[in-house]
Amino acid sequence: MNDDLIVQRPQGLYCPPGDFYIDPWRKVERAVITHAHADHARPGHAHYLATAVSEGLLRSRLGQGITLQGLAYGEAVEHNGVRISLHPAGHVLGSAQVRVEHGGRVWVASGDYRTTPGGATPDRTCTPFESVRCDVFITESTFGLPVYRWRPDAELFGQINQWWADNAAAGRASVLVCYSLGKAQRILGGVDASIGPIVCHGAVEPLNRAYRAVGVALPDTLMVSDVTDKASLQRALVLCPGSALGTPWIKRFGDFSDAFASGWMQVRGQRRRGGHDRGFVLSDHADWPGLLGAIGASGAERVIVTHGSIPVLVRYLQEQGLQAEGFDTEYGDEHETRAETAPAPMDPPAP
Amino acid sequence: MKRFADLFAELDATTSTSAKVTALQRYLGAVDDADAAWAVYFLSGGKPRQLIKTAQLRALAEEASGLPAWLFDASYQAVGDLAETIALVLPAPESADGLEASLCDWMEQRLLPLRGQGEDAVAVALRAWWRELDATGRFLLVKLVGGGFRVGVSKLLVQRAIAQHAGLDAKQVAARMMGFTDGKRLPTAAQYRSLLAPAEASGGEHTAREPSQPYPFFLASPLGFEPGDGLLDLEVASTDTAQAMQARLGPASDWLAEWKFDGIRGQIVKRAGQVWVWSRGEELMSDRFPELQALAQRWPDGTVVDGEILVWHDEDSASALPGSDRPGRPAPFALLQQRIGRKTLNAKVLADAPVSFMAFDLLEADAQDLRAWPQTGRRDRLEALAADVNVGIGPRLWLSPCVVGNDWAALAEQRLKARELGVEGLMLKHRRSTYGTGRQKRWAGPGSSTEDGVLAWWKWKIDPLAIDGVLIYAQAGHGRRASVYTDYTFAVWNRAPASAQEAQAVVDAIARREPAVPGALQLVAFTKAYSGLTDAEFKAVDAVIRQHTLEKFGPVRSVRPTMVFELAFEGIARSTRHKSGVALRFPRMQRIRHDKPLHEASTLQDLEQLLVKTPAKIGQDHGDGSA
């Protein structure tokens, strides 16, 4: 174990020969960041290394003044004799797997990722996942159960378009609750913009601008304050985080139908508990076949499983004859449903 | 089944009640009567008797999924619904042709004939069906086998849709639907058509119905439990009780008081020389109670009596209930529950747990519907019936005794004896109350005009027992609680901690996974509970559980003890099966005690004190508060 290229430390995943961390959750000297979601890209590190395409997102979230080096996908740098390169993860704009090479061994920490099923059209709002061969593969397991199998995008967007069109015909807005970064832009890239105007919440619109700034084509979007013809709101698709639902902002749309876009919507219980009219099974993570496919394609004989269904995936891989173990991390994706919708967790009473 | 699948998808995709009624109405207008009968049956909660054993269903699904058994189980734990798990994990089907057959064909040509077939034949059939059904089809197939659609459609909603479809009054549809979902009578096109028949002009509704048909039950409302009714405090404050009752209900003399028995609410129908016994859950229970069959055989045809089904201990003749001429006392509910569970009723079972009926209302006499009569009129008529039939040798029709008290103070006094007498409290029925449907109320308070008729039945139960427990284990729930930790195990201290520090030391030791030192201060598990909190509270507790998980054992998490809950329950008894030595009846969470430090949670000695005060009364609640 002493030769491991990546180990767990209280600060996060750590590369001993290179003396740097990957997506650390406490402040460190050097951090390699896989993508700009808040649980992976935290403020306060002295040096950041990330993909060049995510630089705008990271600076807008962590501060313009951070010390950040941007890499193109596949471009390598050496640090303390460790060769580091970043490869597309297909999760959100600029998301990367971190390939680490030292002493003839290759490890890949994949952060969060989404694979494109065979034959499907890749997401055009971020570079699709590319498999990287390695000896040891560190994988997430957010949707690490066989019940999570995604339907093709065409079918999903067909459902969303239909819902939107039906609502528009009935004269009510279609409020689609989603993650502001990544999910919202993927939806924008997939819907049929001819159905009606698209209004984005203030948490979403700056991220649309960041996507457009690096050349991702998205349909026209409006802030609600930009809308002069208020009647047009009854035909609108509205993208917002869940926290917006309880605020005065949402009242401007009058009568509306609400839906939630998340991989968790695969399970009826989760869907019904959310109390939304509709749930669309749209995730920026790999489904069960996607996880197994990525693990298989890496060629790794040893797999380390992080955040999500760690015990399930570890046991399954072991039964398939792989060497598998888990790492405890502090990434929050186990509760994607809660992340943007739930109030702060209750504090336990003082002892 | 395509149309039914579409209906299901439509119902599942909306939370709007009116959209659901519209969808149902459209469906009823589009399909033939046989399909409609089955759809109405399932959506109002009908369940055919088990067609395939759950264990076999699960084993076959596991095999078809190609997953290891543990992984199938883990999936089921996360999804919280077997039908849905099967729909999600089975490999893609070869076709979706199975949806072409109608709902009625699926039930009558395919599924019902499975009954009595060998496991091999069932396996062959099921494997073939799974190959020709998509995910929705597979989901529905399993639901058709086992019922339990959970699609946010209540029986009331189905009745509304039928009423709108047929141009009838929903109450009338409700009356006609009594017994429609009973597990022993499968729905037919003819039955469905009789739900839709035009209303009869001259109020002769009951003459057209099937002779077995009961009336919809009139249910009492809880007194003092409804937020805003101003009586919440009554449950704890006893000194001002009489005044508060006077203010709320007017003079005690307006009310008829009876004991609230803890059995199963039932209606006995005697018509056309036959007897039917219905439970409040609209389940036909005639076969299980030969005693009640014998009892009602003595009644004239055209008689329907409402009352409580109980096991009665006659031998305890020294202490009849106050006001009753009947010797003995009601036996604990657990005995009745055991009795219901018996498949064969031999002489010993009948002798050990004899079932009897405590009558409190007369709904039909001489084939005449009495429900519009005032309470006292029906009571007089019931007493007259008892006097007529209790002649000669044979089972007696026992009447629920009226509890006498000239004023509220006297009645409150009586109520306090309830626990000791083995009853749940008092029932208060306005002397002029007619017999309503469901939990109806029409009463504007003391002094108001009663000319339009009164509907007022209240249950005035004794305070539940309560204890402060510490949450130590949690498990995810089912259905809409899937993957949320809602099922909790609670502990009490084995003795009162000397200080907060001593309690904290125990918590720290638990967090270090140290086993408890024998004899030292420790937390002892004593009950599980999974109801009583709001969704928002469950969500908050779920977050704390996830943050404070110590270990995971399959679906169960051990949790660092930090949260104290006030748990309410209806009874407590000694139990050798539980580590704590006690078992609780109907435990639920009353509130989260944020204000209560851990070391002030209850102790085994507190439980012991409650034990001493309470006669044994253990078992699951049946039928959700029988009155």
Short-list B457, B400, B448, CA closest to B427: B457
Name the domain boundary from B436, B461, B486.
B461
Report the largest interatomic distance among the alpha carbons of chain B, rounded to a whole angstrom. Answer: 78
Name the domain boundary from A236, A256, A280.
A280
Report the distance separating Cα B416 and Cα A347, nearest Å.
39
Give the model's pLDDT for residue B141. 93
Q: At what angle do helices B54-65 and B119-131 cross, to 10 degrees?
A: 50
Report the distance separating Cα A226 and Cα A224, nearest Å.
5
**Based on the domain organization, do A59 and A136 belong to the same domain?**
yes
CB contact under 8 A, B598 and A311: no
pLDDT at B364 over 50: yes
The distance of Cα B565 from the centroid of its chain, to the nearest Å, equals: 24
Least confident of A20-24, B289-293, B338-342, B427-431: B338-342
**Based on the domain organization, do A92 and A130 belong to the same domain?**
yes
Distance in Å, alpha carbon of B19 to nearest chain A alpha carbon: 11
The distance of Cα B98 from the centroid of its chain, to the nearest Å, equals: 35
B4 lies in some domain: no
**Based on the domain organization, do A230 and A139 belong to the same domain?**
no
Report the distance separating Cα B479 and Cα B530, nearest Å.
13
Give the model's pLDDT for residue B21. 94
Name the domain boundary from A280, A302, A330.
A280
**Which of B78, B540, B596 shows the shortest C-beta gap to A145?**
B78
- What would the pLDDT profile of B178-199 be if each residue is shown by its tens digit? 778 876 778 999 999 989 988 7
Query: In which element (H, E) is residue B524 found?
Result: strand B523-529
In the chain, the amino acid numbered B172 is: Q
Give the model's pLDDT for residue B617. 41
Q: Among all chains, which residue has been given the structure tokens 């065979």? A: A118
B372 lies in some domain: yes
- Residue ranges of alpha helices (H) inside chain A are 55-62, 153-170, 183-190, 205-213, 248-251, 268-274, 288-298, 310-319, 336-339
**Based on the domain organization, do B313 and B449 belong to the same domain?**
yes
pLDDT band at A284 (very low <50, low <70, confident <90, very high): very high
A2 lies in some domain: no
pLDDT band at A342 (very low <50, low <70, confident <90, very high): very low
For B112, B198, B314, B604, the CA distances from B193, given in Å and listed in that order, are: 22, 10, 47, 59
B323: left (phi over 0), alpha (psi -120 to 50) or beta: left
- Percent of chain A at pLDDT exceeding 90: 79
Q: Among all chains, which residue has been given the structure tokens 């427990």? A: B469
Least confident of A185-189, B341-345, B504-508: B341-345
Give the model's pLDDT for residue B618. 41
- What would the pLDDT profile of B15-54 be if each residue is shown by its tens digit? 788 889 999 999 999 999 999 999 999 998 888 888 888 8
**Based on the domain organization, do A29 and A129 belong to the same domain?**
yes
**Based on the domain organization, do B448 and B585 belong to the same domain?**
no
In the chain, the amino acid numbered B484 is: V
Name the domain boundary from B428, B461, B494.
B461
Give the model's pLDDT for residue B224. 61
A71 lies in some domain: yes
For B120, B155, B458, the CA distances from A95, given in Å and listed in that order, are: 52, 50, 63
CB contact under 8 A, B81 and A268: yes
**Based on the domain organization, do B300 and B442 belong to the same domain?**
yes
Domain that holds residue A228: 153-280
Q: Look up residue B600 and give its two tokens.
A: 């002030």
Domain count, chain A: 2
Tell me which of B71, B501, B592 to substitute to probe the interface with A (most A C-beta atoms closer than 10 Å).
Answer: B71
**Based on the domain organization, do A266 and A158 belong to the same domain?**
yes
For A15, A23, A66, A82, A95, the CA distances from A30, given in Å and listed in that order, are: 10, 10, 12, 13, 18
pLDDT at A21 over 70: yes
**Based on the domain organization, do B235 and B382 belong to the same domain?**
yes
**Based on the domain organization, do B439 and B484 belong to the same domain?**
no
Least confident of A7-21, B313-327, B358-372, B434-448: B313-327
Report the distance separating Cα A224 and Cα A247, nearest Å.
14
**Based on the domain organization, do A268 and A163 belong to the same domain?**
yes
Give the model's pLDDT for residue B348. 86
Tell me which of B472, B483, B523, B563 to substitute to probe the interface with A (most A C-beta atoms closer than 10 Å).
Answer: B483
pLDDT band at B116 (very low <50, low <70, confident <90, very high): confident
**Based on the domain organization, do A288 and A142 belong to the same domain?**
yes
Short-list A154, A153, A155, A159, CA closest to A176: A159
A344 lies in some domain: no
Give the model's pLDDT for residue B572. 84
Average pLDDT score over residue span A317-327: 94
- What would the pLDDT profile of B547-586 be if each residue is shown by its tens digit? 888 888 777 899 999 999 999 887 788 887 777 888 888 8
Distance in Å, alpha carbon of B18 to nearest chain A alpha carbon: 13
Domain that holds residue B354: 221-461
For A51, A112, A186, the CA distances from A34, given in Å and listed in that order, are: 8, 8, 19
Q: Which residues of A touch B65 (CB under 8 A)?
A: 146
Q: Among all chains, which residue has been given the structure tokens 């099966």? A: B577
Least confident of B232-246, B468-482, B504-518: B232-246
B428 lies in some domain: yes
Average pLDDT score over residue span A218-242: 93
Does B502 or B477 have the greater pLDDT score? B502
In the chain, the amino acid numbered B440 is: Q
pLDDT at A349 over 70: no
Strand, helix or coil at B460? Answer: strand
Cβ under 8 Å to B: A residues 96-155 = 145-147, 149
Name the domain boundary from A263, A280, A297.
A280
Sign for the pseudo-dihedral over CA of A182, A86, A136, A327: negative
**Based on the domain organization, do A312 and A166 belong to the same domain?**
no
Short-list B345, B211, B357, CA closest to B287: B345
A321 touches chain B (CB under 8 A): no
**Based on the domain organization, do A289 and A183 belong to the same domain?**
no
Does B81 or B382 have the greater pLDDT score? B382
pLDDT at B238 over 70: no
CB contact under 8 A, A267 and B483: yes
Name the domain boundary from B431, B461, B491.
B461
A231 lies in some domain: yes
Q: Which residues of A touch B553 (CB under 8 A)?
A: none
Angle at B531 between CA B527 and CA B536, to 5 degrees: 125
- Residue ranges of alpha helices (H) inside B372-467 are 375-389, 408-415, 418-421
CATH number of the domain encompassing residue A98: 3.60.15.10
Short-list A343, A337, A251, CA closest to A238: A251
CATH number of the domain encompassing residue B564: 2.40.50.140
Asked if A81 contacts A37 with a C-beta cutoff of 8 angstroms, the reply is no
Strand, helix or coil at B507? Answer: helix
Domain count, chain B: 2
CATH number of the domain encompassing residue A220: 3.40.50
pTM of this structure: 0.72
pLDDT at B82 over 70: yes
Highest mean pLDDT among A117-126, B67-76, B514-523, B565-574 belongs to B67-76
Asked if B324 contacts B401 with a C-beta cutoff of 8 angstroms, the reply is yes
B79 lies in some domain: no
Q: For the stretch A212-235, what's the b/e string if a residue is b when 16 or more beta carbons lie within 10 angstroms of its beta carbon?
A: eeeebebeebbebeeeeeeeebbb
- Percent of chain B at pLDDT exceeding 70: 92
**Which of A278, A345, A348 shows the shortest C-beta gap to B563?**
A348
Q: Among all chains, which residue has been given the structure tokens 């409700």? A: B174
The length of chain A is 351
A348 lies in some domain: no
B475 lies in some domain: yes
At a CB cut-off of 8 Å and minimum separation 6, what does A150 contact? A117, A156, A263, A281, A283, A287, A290
A142 lies in some domain: yes
**Based on the domain organization, do B456 and B484 belong to the same domain?**
no
**Based on the domain organization, do A139 and A170 belong to the same domain?**
no
**Based on the domain organization, do B477 and B454 belong to the same domain?**
no
CB contact under 8 A, B75 and A145: yes
Report the distance separating Cα B152 and Cα B43, nearest Å.
9
**Based on the domain organization, do B364 and B490 belong to the same domain?**
no
Chain A residue with the nearest C-alpha to that of B600: A351
CB contact under 8 A, A269 and B89: no
CATH number of the domain encompassing residue B417: 3.30.470.30
CB contact under 8 A, B68 and A316: yes
**Based on the domain organization, do B428 and B471 belong to the same domain?**
no
**Based on the domain organization, do B471 and B494 belong to the same domain?**
yes
A347 lies in some domain: no
**Based on the domain organization, do B497 and B579 belong to the same domain?**
yes
For B205, B207, B208, B244, B420, the CA distances from B202, given in Å and listed in that order, are: 8, 11, 12, 44, 50
Short-list B1, B29, B16, B145, CA closest to B83: B145
- What would the pLDDT profile of A143-188 be if each residue is shown by its tens digit? 999 999 999 899 999 999 999 999 999 999 999 999 999 999 999 9
Tell me which of A141, A257, A267 to substitute to probe the interface with B (most B C-beta atoms closer than 10 Å).
Answer: A267
For B432, B480, B504, the CA distances from B80, given in Å and listed in that order, are: 48, 8, 35
Give the model's pLDDT for residue A347. 31
Task: Give the number of A-B residue pairs with CB atoms closer than 8 Å.
Answer: 104
**Based on the domain organization, do B329 and B449 belong to the same domain?**
yes
A318 lies in some domain: yes
Give the model's pLDDT for residue B623. 33
Q: Which residues of A touch B479 (CB under 8 A)?
A: 269, 272
**Based on the domain organization, do A122 and A196 belong to the same domain?**
no
**Based on the domain organization, do A107 and A195 belong to the same domain?**
no
Asked if B342 contacts B292 with a C-beta cutoff of 8 angstroms, the reply is no
